[in-house]
C-alpha cells in the first residue's frame, strides 16, 4: 500500500518526467490529437508517424504534472514499431492497470506486448490515488485519438 502521494513518484517516473526522450513536436508526423484535463490543468498533444500497418514513432508536448509527462514519455517508448491494433490493446491494458494496480495475469505468461506493459508498471501506483488516474491515462486516450486522425500534416498539428 502507498501511504503518501510521494509514493507515486518512483525513480522511473521522475526520470521520464525530468528528462523525457520523446518530448517535442516532431518535424514529420501524419496524425495528432490534443487532450486536456480541466480538473488539474494537464494538457498533452500527441504526434504520430504511421508506417505500413504500424507506428514508426510518436512524440508529445505536455504541460502539467510529472505523471502526465512521464506517462507520455513511457508511452512513446512502448508503442514505437507496434501495430495499430496492438497499441489500442496496450492503451486499454494501461488503463486497467492504472485502475487496479495489477499487471494482467497473461503478462507473466508471455504475450506480444508484455515487454511494453512491464516497462509501464511504475504507472500502476496511481491506483491508490484515484484523483490522479487521469494524469496517467490522458496521454494514452490522446494517442488513440491521434491514431484515428487523418491529418496529412508535416510539421504542423491539425
Contacts of 66 (CB under 8 A, 6+ apart): 9, 13, 14, 17, 18
**Statement: residue 148 has pLDDT above 80:** yes
Highest mean pLDDT among 15-19, 31-35, 81-85, 121-125: 31-35
Say if pTM beats, i.e. exceeds, 0.75.
yes
Q: Cα 75 vs. chain centroid, distance in angstroms?
A: 3
Length of the chain (residues): 158
What is the Cα gyration radius of the chain?
A: 15
Give all domains of the chain, ordered by start, each with its CATH number.
Answer: 5-148 (3.90.1010.10)
Q: Specify the 3-state DSSP secondary structure of 129.
A: coil
Amino acid at each position: 500500500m502507498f501511504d503518501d502521494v510521494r509514493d507515486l513518484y518512483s525513480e522511473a517516473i521522475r526520470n521520464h518526467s525530468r528528462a523525457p526522450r520523446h518530448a517535442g513536436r516532431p518535424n514529420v508526423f501524419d496524425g495528432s490529437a490534443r487532450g486536456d484535463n480541466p480538473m488539474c490543468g494537464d494538457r498533452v498533444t500527441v504526434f504520430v508517424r504511421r508506417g505500413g500497418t504500424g507506428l514508426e514513432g510518436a512524440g508529445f508536448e505536455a504541460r502539467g504534472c510529472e505523471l502526465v509527462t512521464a506517462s507520455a514519455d513511457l508511452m512513446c517508448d512502448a508503442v514505437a514499431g507496434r501495430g495499430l491494433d496492438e497499441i489500442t490493446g496496450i492503451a486499454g491494458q494501461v488503463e486497467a492497470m492504472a485502475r487496479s494496480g495489477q499487471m494482467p495475469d497473461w503478462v507473466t505468461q508471455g504475450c506480444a506486448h508484455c515487454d511494453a506493459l512491464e516497462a509501464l508498471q511504475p504507472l500502476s501506483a496511481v491506483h491508490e490515488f484515484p484523483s490522479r488516474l487521469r494524469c496517467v491515462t490522458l496521454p494514452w486516450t490522446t494517442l488513440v485519438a491521434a491514431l484515428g486522425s487523418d491529418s496529412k500534416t508535416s510539421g504542423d498539428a491539425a
